[in-house]
Amino acid sequence: MIASGFIALCNKEVLRFAKVGFQTIAAPILTAVLYLLIFSHALEAKVRVLGIGYTAFLIPGLVMMAVLQNAFANSSSSIIQSKITGNIVFVLLSPLSHTEFFFAYVVAAIIRGICVGVGVFLATIWFANLSFESPWWILTFAVLGAAIMASLGLIAGIWAEKFDQLAALQNFLIMPLTFLSGVFYSIHSLPDFWQNLSRWNPVFYMIDGFRFGFFGVSDVSPWISLAASLGVLTVLVTATLNMLRRGYKLRA
Amino acid sequence: MKDIAVSIEKVSKRYGQTIALDSVDLTVRPGEILGLLGPNGAGKTTLISAMAGLVRTDAGAITIMGHDVQRNYRQARRALGVVPQELAFDPFFTVRETLRLQSGYFGAVNNDDWIDHVLVSLDLVAKANSNMRTLSGGMKRRVLVAQALVHRPPVIVLDEPTAGVDVELRQSLWRFIRELNRDGHTIILTTHYLDEAQALCDRIAILRAGRLVALDTTSNLLETCSGYLLRILLEGDIPAPYANLLVVSGGWREIELKSFKELELILSAMREGGTRIVDIEINKLDLEAVFLRIMQKESGI
């Protein structure tokens, strides 16, 4: 039986972003559409990637980037806002266990990531003919990627003591990892050094596996992407649960 | 364990080199109102936080209604409602949404009837659908109390509930605390207002530098300080013995009296010495005097 406390906290987290949907859902969709308009206008006639037209290649990447960035933003911003305004105390005073706490924040962040991803997909699908070779891979990588970034967001939100620290993490870690993950290009177009470096970027595997679900082609096998993503998720979930169990920066 | 609501046994807590709690022993009986007093930094909030599981103690054990706050934290937290000192709130939600969510965290689903009752009791009905951001400080304070009550805990801790509130709200919170106590709730109250502790509490515990320096019924503590405080504003030279005995305090002179007989002696000495009495005040010694005496004794003054 799922504990009702978990449902209440998850519900609160979903309500929180839904109440400011213009900022949390509509704005990232608009940003992704602008990326698509600019890049497809500049490159559609000149570039084909993995044998696919550039606009069609770009759409899954933008969808997944939106899923990942918004899953991270949801858990990290919620935790740090609650810490700074002090209202996290109401959750800490409750009988929720650290695992319920973790899953409530992660599930809500996945929901936000998927909502934005679906929004970006619906807004951009009209610009190219997309195929859907393997919808299960699409769903698997979307949920897996969102869970990874939601866990990372929780770690960042718990660790950061000021909004500046969280913004630094977003600008200097999350943005480079997502922008340099093959959203806008295939890593096979990069020189060897950068290609090898990209293989150390976990976001690359999430994007590549997600894109495989659409086109049936990818830079690496989706099984490798799945194994890499599951490995990263395991490390992050273990680290986050350990932080929450010890009450790191939450309980003195 | 049935006659113990809260048991605190040899609880210690350090923050680096600072001792926040030093082997505190304290038992709270069911149905009583216990006042927890002490100067800033005495350890009151740390002790409350340890009861609520917000702070992990270095040593000792705390139980709430027989449930250990670390080992059986779920049961212990269900038995405890805490009104925090800070006016914290979630700006995304209305008052009713806040209470429903808080209720949900404690597993109390379909709790609208009780939420309505709490809203009525705290005079929050008109604000039930208002966003928390739009409420005044006093109203936010009431919502904090409502949040602590939403899961019907037998033990309620109020950490300085009347700090910074107006007289009207202070009086209504006092009434509400008494009502909760009449309904069978055990109340632990920290406050800096000693008249508040004197008016509400059955027993008083005084903390200083993390140590429990006094614990007794309010009436017993007051008896240790029976007498009067005379404040007198004088003009002219003060007769010899009283020049030293009357302690200067903000232009006035003060002295503690055991009885009114001593007052008569002072007044006749002033008359004979030709000292003019400009103004005079006389009050029964209160908890403030007890508190100050204990604090002075502990600091070796």
Q: Choose among A20, A97, A251: nearest Cβ to B54.
A: A251
| CA atoms of A53 and A126, how far apart (whole Å) | 14
Amino acid B1: pLDDT: 54
Q: Taking residues A208-236, what's their average pLDDT?
A: 94
**What chain A residue is nearest to B15 in terms of C-alpha separation?**
A252
The mean of the pLDDT values for chain A is: 92
Can you tell me the distance from the alpha carbon of A81 to that of A72, in angstroms, rounded to the nearest whole number?
14
Q: What is the ipTM of this complex?
A: 0.85
Q: Which of A85-89, A182-186, B258-262 has the highest mean pLDDT?
A: A85-89
Among chain A residues, the shortest Cα distance to B87 is held by A86
Q: Under DSSP, is residue A105 helix (H, G, I), strand (E, B) or coil?
A: helix
Residues of B in CB contact (< 8 Å) with A are: 15, 49, 52-56, 73-75, 77-78, 80, 82, 84, 86, 88-93, 97, 101-107, 109, 147
Give per-residue pLDDT as tens, B238-292: 777 777 667 777 678 888 777 778 788 888 888 888 888 888 888 877 767 777 7
Q: Specify the pLDDT at position B223.
A: 72
In whole angstroms, what is the distance from residue B174 CA to residue B168 CA? Answer: 10
pLDDT for res A1: 45
Alpha carbons B229 and B252: distance in angstroms, whole number: 12
- pTM given for the model: 0.85
Which residues, given as ranges, of chain B have pLDDT below 70? 1-2, 225-226, 244-245, 250, 287, 296-301
> B218-256: buried (b, 16+ CB within 10 Å) or exposed (e) per residue?
beebbeebeebbbbbebeeebbeebeeebeeeeebbebe
Other C-beta atoms lying within 10 Å of the C-beta of residue B270: 18
Q: Closest residue of B to A86, CA-based?
A: B88
Q: Give the per-residue pLDDT at B300.
A: 55
Q: Is the pLDDT of residue A44 over 90?
A: no
What is the least distance, in Å, from the CA of A70 to any CA of chain B? 18
DSSP 8-state symbol, A24: I
Residue-wise pLDDT for A64-85, tens only, equals 999 999 999 999 999 999 999 9
pLDDT over threshold 90, residue A208: yes
| A25: DSSP letter | I
The region, left, alpha or beta by phi > 0 then psi within -120 to 50, assigned to residue B141 is alpha
Give the pLDDT score at B79: 95
